[in-house]
A and B are shown apart, each in its own frame.
Chain A
């Protein structure tokens, strides 16, 4: 046996696939026992490295905290892929082999009960079978004859033999789609304020997931958030979050685009996803009389409950002042009422407070020789942008897996074979066998029933 054939036999052996299943399971259990970087932030691992340095080193060296991108897990997936490719290939080649050899057929009949048939020709016997078997959903396949024996092969649900190769092809496609994502997928997150335009690849663009060979997201168009629409349920949960954008292509053509939760939109190879993250942008200008003003936007996260006002604390650019900002969108309603909101501002340097007061959009307040304007209060919206995902591949994989698994478990492929053996002129022996598992109770019952009916018909 050649070396390659040995490798192929190893990877297609049921024990190999079973072992790989076991190893995969074991690795998934590890992933569940050890908190993963996908759900824990860096501070968790920092404190773990301080409290249990040995354990942390072990976890870190083996990448147990991010197992899905660790070398050992990728090796398991690679082995599984090789096994899947070879097994699927084997299954497709077996599929094209539909014929039994006479030797295989005879093996099937060893130890089966034999019935006597007198005064009946082969044609008559064949006619009876053709009358009886269709009632059970069986169709006649090409017969097989030797000098002494006739084989009548009836099949049912033969299409379900496609199930296993389809299922395994689907799984393979899914692995390839994941590999494609691992290499080329790029996912970015951007905070965009109403009225703001984003073009090219701004520094604010946060790449949250980037494949090894993925290109930086750099669209050929710019987009502006015109308005963010928020609808709330009475319990303040979000009923609708929808961003109205304007896309401007390089030739200046403008196209409106509405993106809401769960309804992503594709624009020139890039997909926009509206996220649940949004908040308020308080736009302030600080100016000394006679000098140009310093504009800045303070971004406040939307709170989960209406009784907690959004707040933030940050340094005002080009000054030493720290601004503590609390926004009261509306004292009665949870939604933002642009004609009512007010901003509570505390200006301080360290512990020294310079100003405490309320300010409304379009109004001015003064402190330490500065004029503080509240230009506007707008929404900011979180948008996820995805580049290079293998959507058609994934959908095809899902379709194949579903079809394959349905064919396997809901339609059982069965074959019933009749053997007619010549004993002497006008004297025959006939027997019946099923394939693949005729010991299974339901199939056995069916064979018994068919056998009974054939016997009755032959007596007639």
Chain B
């Protein structure tokens, strides 16, 4: 099979995955708004099913490009969302009550995946300075951080909904407010751990490539800002009693910072990351 054919199958797989994720979202929406557990479960199973064509597409792209899915925006978005969805699916197998978070995780995922395909799905080659294990750590943990923050976002949004509307409709199926509050803290902590590893691995990679750990490049500074905001959240939470509604709102702010750092700053400023995030 030649590369043109493989590329064709790759795109078919992507669109099948997007289609399944859309369908999963529909099932989540119907299940939650009409208080039907079976449909929520179908949505959950569809999320799991969508991972297969998505994985096939990522693997094909990997095979064709000769490197992992982390060079272009398309590759980065696609693999980040794959990890975020698998994170969600595995988590909700253990924590059944968090399944409704799929109503937030899935639409964000398929919209960003669609955006990735529209931006630039072309195959790019791996420059010499990218052939290092630290880049793999840098990117892999960044994706895990995104997965953790997406779950924390879902918990925060549901916390706020449950707090204002009480146990109305599907909200009664969610964990208690106290437990949601705890999950927000835990997943934010997890994201903080992964974000820290991302920054550390990135700076070691920068040192190996350019002889300096930190150059105050815009994306470096923004990732530091995000890290400091996470640190602030953790300090407020541990020492100043930040919890419940205010903590959930703060968490949404943290999520926006992550999105700004990962997906907006490389677009609007000239950074060392812009050069490869094509």
Binary A-proximity of B239-257 (CB < 8 A = 1, otherwise 0) = 1100000000000000000
Q: Mark A391-432, 1 if CB is under 8 A from B, else 0.
A: 100100010011001101110000000000000000000000
Residues of A within 8 A of B120 (CB): none
Residue among A32, A209, A235 making CB contact with B222, cutoff 8 Å: A32
B122-134 vs A, CB cutoff 8 Å, 1 = contact: the mask equals 0011111111100
A235 touching B124, Cβ below 8 Å? yes
Q: Of the 9-residue stretches B10-18, B37-45, B161-169, B189-197, which lies at the interface with chain A?
A: B189-197
Does B221 count as interface, using CB distance less than 8 angstroms?
A: yes
User: Complex formed: what's the CA distance from A238 to B125 in Å?
Assistant: 9
A271 lies within 8 A of B211 (CB): yes
A239–B190 contact, CB under 8 A? no
Q: How far is B205's CA from A260's CA once the two chains are assembled, in angstroms?
A: 14
* Interface-central residue, B125, B130, B215, by most chain A CB under 10 Å: B125
Complex interface: stretch among B50-58, B85-93, B100-108, B176-184: B176-184
Residues of A within 8 A of B205 (CB): 262
B278 to chain A, nearest CB (A): 11
By a CB distance below 8 angstroms, the chain A residues around B129 are: 261-262, 276
Instruction: List chain A residues, Cβ under 8 A from B196.
Output: 401-402, 405
Minimal Cβ-Cβ distance residue in B for A178: B214
Whether A14 pairs with B240 at a CB distance below 8 angstroms is: yes
Determine if B210 is an interface residue (Cβ-Cβ < 8 Å): yes
Query: Contact: B200 with A401, CB < 8 Å?
Result: yes
Q: Which of B190, B197, B207, B228 contacts A28 (CB 8 A)?
A: B228
Residue of B nearest to A444 (CB): B178
Number of interface residues of A (CB under 8 A): 51
Instruction: Tell me the residues in window 356-376 of chain A with beta carbons closer than 8 Å to chain B beta carbons.
Output: none
Q: Report how far A24 CA is from B231 CA in the complex, Å.
A: 12
In the complex, B111 has a CB within 8 A of chain A: no
CB distance A39 to B211 under 8 Å? no
B192 in contact with A24 (CB, 8 Å): no
Q: Is B59 an interface position by the 8 A CB rule?
A: no
Question: Contact: A14 with B211, CB < 8 Å?
Answer: no
Judge whether A273 and B228 touch: CB under 8 Å.
no
Contact of B204 among A240, A263, A398, A440 (CB under 8 A): A398
Asked if A39 and B124 sit within 8 Å, CB to CB, the answer is no
Cβ of A154 to closest chain B Cβ, rounded Å: 22
CB distance from B72 to the nearest CB of A (A): 12
Given the interface pairs A21-B228, A22-B232, A440-B182, the reply to whether A264 lies near B208 with Cβ below 8 Å is yes
Q: By the criterion CB–CB under 8 Å, are B178 and A68 in contact?
A: no
Task: Give chain A nearest CB distance to B270 CB in angstroms.
Answer: 7
Interface residues of A in 102-134 (CB under 8 A from B): none
- Is B218 engaged at the interface, CB distance under 8 Å to the other chain? yes
- Please name all residues of chain B whose beta carbon is closer than 8 Å to the beta carbon of A409 when the two chains form the complex: 186, 189-190, 192-193
CB distance from A72 to the nearest CB of B (A): 16
Contacts of A398 in B (CB 8 A): 200, 204
Whether A246 sits at the interface, judged by CB under 8 Å, is no
| Cβ of A143 to closest chain B Cβ, rounded Å | 29
Whole-angstrom distance between the alpha carbons of A409 and B187 in the complex?
Answer: 9
Is B236 interfacial (CB 8 A cutoff)? Answer: yes
Contacts of B228 in A (CB 8 A): 21, 24-25, 28
Asked whether A218 is an interface residue with its Cβ less than 8 Å from the other chain, the reply is: no
A21 CB contacts on chain B under 8 angstroms: 228, 231-232, 235
- State the CA gap A422–B205 with chains docked (Å): 63
In the complex formed, the residue of A with least CB distance to B272 is A39
In the bound complex, CA of A68 to CA of B210 (Å): 19
B127 touches A386 (CB 8 A): no
With beta carbons under 8 angstroms apart, the residue of B193, B224, B239 that contacts A14 is B239
What are 23 of the A-B contact pairs (CB < 8 Å)?
A18-B236, A21-B228, A24-B228, A28-B225, A32-B225, A187-B212, A233-B125, A234-B125, A239-B127, A240-B128, A261-B127, A261-B129, A262-B128, A262-B131, A273-B211, A276-B128, A386-B212, A401-B200, A405-B192, A406-B193, A409-B193, A440-B178, A441-B178
The 10 nearest A-B residue pairs measured at CB: A409-B189, A233-B125, A261-B128, A14-B239, A273-B211, A441-B178, A386-B211, A261-B129, A441-B179, A398-B200
- By a beta-carbon cutoff of 8 Å, the part of chain B in contact with chain A is 124-132, 176, 178-179, 182, 186, 189-190, 192-193, 196-197, 200, 204-205, 207-218, 221-222, 224-225, 228-229, 231-232, 235-236, 239-240, 270
Q: Told that A21-B231, A260-B128, A441-B178 touch, could you supply 13 new A-B pairs with CB distance under 8 A?
A: A14-B240, A18-B232, A21-B228, A235-B125, A237-B124, A239-B125, A262-B205, A386-B211, A394-B207, A408-B189, A409-B189, A440-B182, A442-B182
